[in-house]
């Protein structure tokens, strides 16, 4: 069986000895735009997951680990003495003026938890553990759902991950983090938010579907093994199904809610489509499959990956698998050819989620049969674009 190898070429190109640069012009990094903690947190998460699963390949595994070190160093540096994180950093390493962000805190806290759980050696886990312990007291100050969601997923991972801490015993570590109390509190905050907004025909946490949507059902699915709450699992399922419907074109391919106007009860914007939204839908579907083992969730992850490879409204690929890069978005005139950090990491994480599903024996429907005879010819054409790749993955997995 040939190992799966996810390319790190573009991520390596975008990274210097400080961290991951935020933007690119085409595939060329734009140094003047500097760095963000958001992107370096996503990168630490991606590198840790790919390293843990062995998807970096034997030849490149050391590169993935070296990159993880850089991003872990960045988070240690960007974390303030009070446990919060400064997000925007200029190329000369000066912090830029900004308003503190719950989202940034949540992403960094989740990334540190992922590194703590996924990296193999304690010398690196020690740094992630220090970040978590310093940041944990600030969780109580979060005010917005996405910050709650990332933090809930992080605490849930820490509660369910059985690896021992580096600096103390497991019980003392979880007590110092107040992990159980935080799971209960954050879970309740998200459920209360959902109960206030959801109606018979609107199974969502807010009056509009805006940005970073998949993290909300993802966090509740992630919390279910830690809390055992059937209400949590029900709301996670309702909200994921609702989001998947909002993000699916009538023809069957993924159509993320566009950032030109978002989606309300009366309207859904088609453009511009963001890779981040597709990755977060895949993230929620992967967690749902982990909890409920429904084949439709595995298929949703496959369709999210297919969006990057050309199964989308324009039939145009956004990702370059050989480089491990991704265009910044899909516009009415085609892909935005700039290949920045956020979009590239969205693609890499989606690849990781997809191959993790494949490794468990779920590779989606028979695409040849889907494209046979009758039906929508455009759907058949789009399906054919991925059938060769799907066959290769299935054969590689035996």
Q: Quick count: other Cβ atoms within 10 Å of Cβ 255?
A: 22
Question: Does position 184 have pLDDT exceeding 50, yes or no?
Answer: yes
Long-range contacts of 99-105 (CB under 8 A, 24+ apart): 101/147, 102/142, 102/143, 102/144, 102/146, 102/147, 102/148, 103/38, 103/144, 103/146, 103/147, 103/150, 103/212, 104/36, 104/37, 104/38, 104/41, 105/135, 105/138, 105/142, 105/147, 105/150, 105/151
| DSSP conformation class of 360 | T
Q: Which of 220, 188, 381, 393 is nearest to 291 (CA)?
A: 220
Residue 385 pLDDT level (bands cut at 50, 70, 90): very low
Residue count of the chain = 398
Find out whether 70 and 341 touch, Cβ atoms under 8 Å: no
Residue 361 pLDDT level (bands cut at 50, 70, 90): confident
pLDDT value for 373: 29
Two tokens at 196?
A: 């206030």
Q: Which of 360, 354, 309, 315 is nearest to 334 (CA)?
A: 315
pLDDT value for 384: 39
Residue 364 pLDDT level (bands cut at 50, 70, 90): very low
Two tokens at 383?
A: 């399906």
Segment 371-375 shows an average pLDDT of 30
Two tokens at 202?
A: 């609107």
Q: Could you report the per-residue pLDDT of 115-174, keeping only the tens digit for each? A: 999 999 999 999 999 999 999 999 999 999 999 999 999 999 999 998 999 999 999 999
With a CB cutoff of 8 Å and minimum separation 6, the contacts of 296 are none
Find out whether 85 and 104 touch, Cβ atoms under 8 Å: yes
With a CB cutoff of 8 Å and minimum separation 6, the contacts of 181 are none
**Full-model pTM:** 0.89
Q: Could you report the per-residue pLDDT of 242-251, keeping only the tens digit for each? A: 999 999 999 9
Between vectors from CA 227 to CA 109 and to CA 216, what angle results, nearest 5°?
A: 50
| DSSP conformation class of 97 | P
Q: Report how far residue 2's alpha carbon sits from residue 17's, in angstroms, rounded to the nearest whole number.
A: 33
Q: Could you report the per-residue pLDDT of 57-109, keeping only the tens digit for each? A: 766 778 999 999 999 999 999 999 999 999 999 999 999 999 989 999 999 99
């Amino acid at each position: 069986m040939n190992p799966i190898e996810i390319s790190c070429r573009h991520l390596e190109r975008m990274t210097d000895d400080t961290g991951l640069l935020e933007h690119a012009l085409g595939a060329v990094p734009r140094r003047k735009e500097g760095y963000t903690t958001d992107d370096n947190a996503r990168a630490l998460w991606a590198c840790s997951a790919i390293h843990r699963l062995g998807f970096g390949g034997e030849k490149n595994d050391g590169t993935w680990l070296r990159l993880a070190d850089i991003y872990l160093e960045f988070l240690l540096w960007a974390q303030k003495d009070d446990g919060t994180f400064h997000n925007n950093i200029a190329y000369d390493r000066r912090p830029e003026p900004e308003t503190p962000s719950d989202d940034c805190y949540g992403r960094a806290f989740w990334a540190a938890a992922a590194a703590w759980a996924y990296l193999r050696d304690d010398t690196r886990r020690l740094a992630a553990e220090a970040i978590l312990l310093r940041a944990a007291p600030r969780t109580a100050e979060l005010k917005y759902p996405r910050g709650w969601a990332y933090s809930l997923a992080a605490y849930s991972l820490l509660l369910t991950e059985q690896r021992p801490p580096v600096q103390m015993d497991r019980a003392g570590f979880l007590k110092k983090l107040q992990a159980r109390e935080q799971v209960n509190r954050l879970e309740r905050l998200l459920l209360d938010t959902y109960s206030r907004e959801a109606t018979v025909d609107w199974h969502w946490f807010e009056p509009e579907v805006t940005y970073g949507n998949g993290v909300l059902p993802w966090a509740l699915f992630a919390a279910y093994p830690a809390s055992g709450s059937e209400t949590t699992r029900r709301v996670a399922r309702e909200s994921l199904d609702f989001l998947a419907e909002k993000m699916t074109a009538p023809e069957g391919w993924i159509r993320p809610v566009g950032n030109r106007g978002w989606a309300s009860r009366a309207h859904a914007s088609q453009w511009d489509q963001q890779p981040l939204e597709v990755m977060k839908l895949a993230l929620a579907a992967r967690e749902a499959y982990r909890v409920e083992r429904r084949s439709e969730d595995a298929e949703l992850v496959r369709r999210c990956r297919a969006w990057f490879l050309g199964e989308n409204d324009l039939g145009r690929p956004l990702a370059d698998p050989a480089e491990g890069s991704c265009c910044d978005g899909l516009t009415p005139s085609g892909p935005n050819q700039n290949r920045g950090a956020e979009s590239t990491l969205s693609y890499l994480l989606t690849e990781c989620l997809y191959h993790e599903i494949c490794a468990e024996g779920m590779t989606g429907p028979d695409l040849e049969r889907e494209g046979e005879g009758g039906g929508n010819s455009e759907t058949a054409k789009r399906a054919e674009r991925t059938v060769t790749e799907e066959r290769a993955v299935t054969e590689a997995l035996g």
